[in-house]
Structure 1
Amino acid sequence: MKITGNELIALGYAPKKWFAEALEYINENDLSQEEMENYLEQYRSPDPIPLHENPIDFVVNLRAEHEAEIDNVDKVLKTMKKLMKTPTLVSGAVMPDACPTGPEGHIPVGGLVVAKNAIHPGFHSADICCSVMLTDFGKVDPKDVLDAAHSITHFGYGGRERGEQIPMSQELMDAFRENFFLNDERLISIARSHMGTQGDGNHFLFVGISKNTGNTMMVTHHGSRAPGAALYDKGMKVANRFRQELSPDTLKENAWIPFETEEGQQYWEALQLIRAWTKENHEAIHNATLEKMNVEKLDRYWNEHNFVFRDGDLFYHAKGATPLDDKFLPDITGPRLIPLNMAEPVLIVSGATNERNLGFAPHGAGRNFSRSQHKRSLAHKTTEEVFAEETAGLDIRFYSNEIDISELPTAYKNAKNVRAQIEEFGLCEVIDEVLPHGCIMAGDVQKNAPWKKKKKFRK
């Protein structure tokens, strides 16, 4: 008698791609009932992996400095406690810049979690490898650097127009084509057009003066742009396929790809290639600015603060945490960078792993309120009044020519308090500061977005 899929379903197997192959084998070899059941055991799904009954312990390097921060801290701790029930997690920490993002149970900004043999795409989110790079320009006028950089960089939606694109290295394009997740000509085309772009939101180009040397330094902050977002989308789909089979009780956003699988190996490799693309993207802007000014760099270093770092079978997922331990960075060239806000110094720090920091430091100042809440709190003032008060003495520019008050200094946690908690919890040591001269950000890209202009024109 010919065996069909109905017999497999009756044995408790859900229809899968392997049905066709299994049925062909069973029928070609005329397996008996016992032989068939023994053969099918290889396809039997394991028992679902349950959530941890109690949250795994995590280190809290955060406390409320005033009443306005109490709600923020409470939400961070609640979301971490739910998150730390995820089956793969073995430890974690929250930094002084922590703030919640998304529903309860999602990793907060300023959160760090350690998973065993698992990569969680939702823990690095779409802005893979959000990072900062510093170049030392020496004794040059900071305004000249800001002007040159302004003429070169690109903020806002999309990539550069044809004829204005900065070439992506052939070596990197070839590597993309050899990876399961990145071998996508549309993705590669986007990667090419987005080279030399910085996006929007809290990404910036900052120019200031070293407190120690008096040299002018440029710092850029951005991630992997659309190529990274595309990888994230693909990674989440694969992770959720595993989640449905391995641990359906795990939150969808906390799904993971087992590292020992082929998909896990390929995703890890894809992350490293997106990391290389992001570093090349920073370098493109820095090198073009140096070339325009006819200046040689004196020093350069960079670090990501939104990424996955590996130590043996442990995967450290930093959703806004700066790696201190050299083992996390394969191309370490100097100290680490912690930006605070446009009116405060960028901190240059160093440090070592200890029981509180797990090898990481904060990545910035964080927020106590959402962008919309912050805007509502300033509704009694004009945008121009807020801008004048908060940026006095600084050269602050918005690429879109539209002020974004949700990126002005008061939108962030008090920088002095964050620094005090860095010292209080022994997270890292500040070894220099880049004192602010000015910066460029995207600005309010929603106000005159291209699609809004088209809609207005049609009317």
Structure 2
Amino acid sequence: MASAKLTAKDLLTLGFPSGKPVTIALQLIDTYYTDLARNHQIELLQDVLTAPEQYKLQATLGPLAQAILTQKSSGPIELKPGKQKFAIYGGENIEGGALHQMELAMRLPIAQAGALMPDAHQGYGLPIGGVLATHNVAIPYGVGVDIGCRMCMSIYDIHTGFIDKNQDKLKKMLLDNTRFGHTSFKRPMNHPVMDRPEFSELPIVREMKDRAYQQLGTSGGGNHFVEFGTVEIHDVNNDHDLPKGKYLAILSHSGSRRLGANIAGYYTKVAMDACQLPPDAKHLAWLDLDTEAGQEYWLAMNLAGDYASACHHQIHERLANKLTEQPMAVIENHHNFAWKEKDATGKEVIVHRKGATPAGKGVMGIIPGSMATPGFIVRGKGEAASINSASHGAGRLMSRTEAKKTLSLPQVRKYLQKAGVDVLGSGLDEAPMVYKDINKVMASQQDLVEVVGTFHPKIVRMNGDEKYIEVD
């Protein structure tokens, strides 16, 4: 039986610098050394990696040796000098750390345009709420760890009084049909996304297939939720021809679970090895989409986004079955992703939206508040200065550590009781008070989106002890 073919991951494990050296090494093996056993192929490549100077004049191995020497000798990539212009929305409520991160991202030589949304706060690499357009490169930490994290809303032709009359029934429905954090269903539902060829073709994805299947239809921890609430449609000019009125709705927020996190972690390391940036900008390392690593990341990122969507669809399907009703409309949008789009000149750019909602002209989306404040169905206005983007929520005002030190359980319970919201699970770090005022955030982006409908949460399910902050 033939030995397994060498992959980019194999070479990275051997200590090869990613990027051009890996690409050339694999091409050389495929062209000249297919008759060698796999272990001899590895020995040959290790010899070149250990002493590239001895091979740089050889006709066959010289290009590989030269690529290794060039990458070793090259210093950090220089950033553009001085501050670069980018649009800022709601700047008076954005912390300095997020502004600094966006300023740094705009100095990358591959940065074409940028914008900072009103819910922005500091993260890793690109700030949460940061939007960055580049040319033919993807920045794994410009996309984020929870690849394809998204909102999904199902709207039902059920009177909103149904919630008050069926509080206990709906709470049980959420507890029985949703899973968060490390928990999963004993028998996950099947979904076509698990048959995608990427699960066999991409090593880092192949390793995660069993875990991904176990987590199908579940939600993460942190600020992820599934909730019953009421939605009021204000504008009949919507994609779903929904009449004005009030309806029952289910809203969920979650992402690609461990699959997305592992993809982000692996390709961030590959990018940082290939793209030597100054220390304060190292998390903004990118992958050229013309390279093998760049193409792999793009495929893996899109798979993670589709997987996240599949999880939401299963969450909503389980709840629809228990309601014995089908929704009149389903609205969905995602963030923590990179899109191929056209800029104002018609040139293709890669638009990274890390915690930002697509808001091209006519594009529908959902911008949530907190567990006790309104969320909004919106239609994008296609504002070029924002790179066709808007906020993805209210944005944090308080860190998780600060929230746990500052807030008390009685204080949060009182707040929720006043708002008329029951919360199953969660903790003090997700209390409504840790978020910015969603109404101020929306006021800061009136040029970016128009409001089509308003959602009010009533029963919220999050990760943690389901009795932790439930209102008595």
TM-score (norm 2): 0.76
2:329 pairs with 296, 299, 322, which one?
299
Paired amino acid for 2:268: M
Q: 2:355 aligned with 1:320, yes or no?
A: yes
Which residue pairs with 1:115 in the alignment? Answer: 134
* Equivalence map 1:40-439=2 (5 Å): 45=70, 49-64=77-92, 69=93, 72-102=94-124, 106-139=125-158, 141-142=162-163, 143=167, 144-156=169-181, 158-160=182-184, 164-170=186-192, 172-185=194-207, 187-212=208-233, 213-244=245-276, 247=277, 251-311=281-341, 313-325=348-360, 335-378=364-407, 382-399=408-425, 404-423=427-446, 426-439=447-460
User: The residue matched to 1:57 in structure 2 has which SS?
Assistant: coil
CA distance in 1, matches of 2:82, 2:397: 28
Measure how far apart 1:216 and its partner are: 0.5
Alpha-carbon displacement from aligned partner over 1:325-369 (angstroms, at most 9, x marks no partner): 27xxxxx9x720000111222200001322332101111001222
Q: For the structure 1 residues 170 and 397, does the alpha-carbon distance in structure 2 shift closer, same or farther, using more than 3 Å as the test? A: same
Q: What are the ranges of 5 or more consecutive residues in structure 1 without an aligned counterpart?
A: 1-12, 25-30, 327-331, 448-459
Measure how far apart 1:43 and its partner are: 6.1
Measure how far apart 1:35 and its partner are: 6.7
Q: What are the ranges of 5 or more consecutive residues in structure 2 without an aligned counterpart?
A: 1-15, 26-42, 49-54, 234-244, 343-347
Q: 2:461 aligned with 1:440, yes or no?
A: yes
CA distance in 2, matches of 1:194, 1:209: 28
**For the aligned residues, what is the CA RMSD?**
3.1
CA distance in 1, matches of 2:246, 2:58: 80
Contact 1:56/1:89, CA 8 A, preserved across alignment:
no
Contact 1:387/1:408, CA 8 A, preserved across alignment:
no
Alpha-carbon displacement from aligned partner over 1:382-433 (angstroms, at most 9, x marks no partner): 412332234425242223xxx512212111011221122122xx11111111
CA distance in 2, matches of 1:216, 1:14: 54
CA distance in 2, matches of 1:32, 1:260: 25
Alpha-carbon displacement from aligned partner over 1:246-283 (angstroms, at most 9, x marks no partner): x5667331111111112211211111111111111001
Measure how far apart 1:168 and its partner are: 3.5
Alpha-carbon displacement from aligned partner over 1:85-136 (angstroms, at most 9, x marks no partner): 222211111111111125xxx3211111112111111122221111000111
TM-score (norm 1): 0.78
Q: For the structure 1 residues 283 and 22, does the alpha-carbon distance in structure 2 shift closer, same or farther, using more than 3 Å as the test? A: closer
Name the count of aligned residue pairs.
400
Contact 2:17/2:274, CA 8 A, preserved across alignment:
no
Contact 1:173/1:188, CA 8 A, preserved across alignment:
no
User: The residue matched to 2:386 in structure 1 has which SS?
Assistant: coil
Which residue pairs with 2:39 in the alignment? Answer: none
Q: For the structure 1 residues 165 and 54, does the alpha-carbon distance in structure 2 shift closer, same or farther, using more than 3 Å as the test? A: farther
Contact 1:323/1:360, CA 8 A, preserved across alignment:
yes
Moved more, 203-212 or 173-182: 173-182
Measure how far apart 1:148 and its partner are: 2.0
Q: For the structure 1 residues 38 and 306, does the alpha-carbon distance in structure 2 shift closer, same or farther, using more than 3 Å as the test? A: closer
Measure how far apart 1:440 and its partner are: 1.2
Moved more, 75-84 or 123-132: 75-84
CA distance in 1, matches of 2:103, 2:355: 18
Paired amino acid for 1:263: A
Paired amino acid for 1:305: H
Which residue pairs with 1:28 in the alignment? Answer: none
CA distance in 1, matches of 2:339, 2:82: 25
Measure how far apart 1:223 and its partner are: 0.6
Contact 1:133/1:221, CA 8 A, preserved across alignment:
yes
Paired amino acid for 2:316: H
Measure how far apart 1:305 and its partner are: 1.7
Contact 2:155/2:249, CA 8 A, preserved across alignment:
yes
CA distance in 2, matches of 1:232, 1:22: 27
Alpha-carbon displacement from aligned partner over 1:141-176 (angstroms, at most 9, x marks no partner): 2345554233200112x2425xx2322425533423
Which residue pairs with 1:4 in the alignment? Answer: none
Q: 2:44 aligned with 1:20, yes or no?
A: yes
CA distance in 2, matches of 1:442, 1:22: 47
Which residue pairs with 1:7 in the alignment? Answer: none
User: The residue matched to 1:198 in structure 2 has which SS?
Assistant: coil
CA distance in 2, matches of 1:219, 1:123: 26
CA distance in 1, matches of 2:382, 2:325: 37
CA distance in 2, matches of 1:444, 1:59: 41
